[in-house]
Amino acid sequence: MSAELCYEDLAALALPDIRTIMQKTHIEDHEIIFAGPNSALRDKLIRIHLEWVGNFTDYRAEKNQRAFRELEIASAQRLKKPADDVLEDAKTRILTAARAAAENNEISWPPRPEPVAPIAQDHVAAATPQPTTPSMPEELAALLAQPALNLSDSELVDLFSGLAIIARTKGILALDQIVPACRDWVLRVFLNDVLNGLVPTLVTKLGETHIEALAAGEKTRCAMIVRGVECINDGLHPFIVQDMMHAFFAFTAAGESIANPPLDWVVNQMVELAEKAYLEGINVLKDETFHDEPLLKEGIALILAHKDPTDPPAEGDQRTTAITDHLHTLTNEWMVAYEKRLRSILVGVQCIQAGEEPALIAERLNDL
């Protein structure tokens, strides 16, 4: 080696070399890096994991006998930020494996150019030359900085039109430089499927699978809020509310709970609200704000509007039924809009992959 390999140098390695390093290190260390600060290496590690989880390689690490859990870019948002010493220890272990691989000539340092490997046509689309970093209009950057669910229909059209223009003028791989700036992890996953060379049929099948899983999770989250509002309205003890919330969790074959942080947030929020209402009275919830949870905000408002603070708890009364029915209606309406937006993201990515013009993209999105 002409120079000692440093951790910051790993991002410059070719993807095959990074795959080699990942095969020699533990998935726990990879996940710590996912939860750390954004970096070019972190994005490459996530990209490779997506390939593995999607069974696009034959890799099966002997040290990791347990099956890889479904790994998406969202895992980086869900995992808690690791302590500095934990993060540094993970980096050190990965760097040690990289240096050993370099000494054994298993990877190339200084980095070699990315090889152009033959690609099986029944699995992936033909590769195109790597483009230079494209410029990005301020309007497109502003749209990419927001979650897609927060965009209006016209803004979503503008987003995919902007991405399509770059893909058509600079080449589809030009989007590889833009994906890290995309805040919406669903769009990032779908775009990475295209950038990883999957043919349209696989992009569609994988996207539909994601949508089904996301919709099921979102429906569970909404159901937790509805049940939590019911419990608060009935004046149940916070411990009972906690048990009710945990009943929504799935379990592994070994009987261990699968902790889903977004659902954990619902558990903590509902138990906290139930405790306040139980100890201080229902009117204390008037001072609560729920900026990012319109369903919860509506549920608490309904409780306050229909509840006389002097009334004793009355589980299953008509007021609870009316509140529950209304929240179920809102949930159904939200699920229609939620699934439509997810499907719009998938259609937009499919249009970009197909090289369609912005006008046709707008037409297809507006038809949904």
Question: Sorting pLDDT into bands at 50, 70 and 90, what band is 248?
Answer: confident
Cα 193 from Cα 335, distance rounded (Å): 25
Question: Sorting pLDDT into bands at 50, 70 and 90, what band is 13?
Answer: confident
* Mean pLDDT along residues 292-296: 83
Question: Sorting pLDDT into bands at 50, 70 and 90, what band is 107?
Answer: confident
Residue 28 · residue 93 · CB < 8 Å: no
Question: Sorting pLDDT into bands at 50, 70 and 90, what band is 67?
Answer: very low
The reported pLDDT for the residue numbered 228 is: 92
The reported pLDDT for the residue numbered 268 is: 81
Q: Which residues of 282-300 are buried (b: 16+ CB within 10 A; e: fewer)?
A: beebeeeebeebebbebbb
Q: Looking at per-residue confidence, does 200 or 50 come out higher?
A: 200
Cα 357 from Cα 82, distance rounded (Å): 43
The reported pLDDT for the residue numbered 119 is: 39
The reported pLDDT for the residue numbered 205 is: 86
Q: Looking at per-residue confidence, does 290 or 277 come out higher?
A: 277
Checking if the pLDDT of 164 tops 70, the result is yes
Cα 34 from Cα 43, distance rounded (Å): 8
Residue 89 · residue 59 · CB < 8 Å: no
Question: Sorting pLDDT into bands at 50, 70 and 90, what band is 68?
Answer: very low
Return the domain boundaries, the chain. Answer: 7-103, 119-368
Tell me the longest C-alpha to C-alpha distance in the chain: 79
Instruction: State the average pLDDT for the chain.
Output: 76
The reported pLDDT for the residue numbered 22 is: 86
The reported pLDDT for the residue numbered 117 is: 42
The model's pLDDT over 207-246, given as tens digits with 9 standing for 90+, comes to 888 888 888 888 888 999 999 999 999 888 888 888 888 7
Checking if the pLDDT of 203 tops 50, the result is yes
Cα 306 from Cα 325, distance rounded (Å): 14
Name the most confidently modeled range: 67-76, 134-143, 184-193, 315-324: 184-193
pLDDT above 70 covers a percentage of the chain that reads 74
Question: Sorting pLDDT into bands at 50, 70 and 90, what band is 156?
Answer: very high
Q: Looking at per-residue confidence, does 222 or 52 come out higher?
A: 222
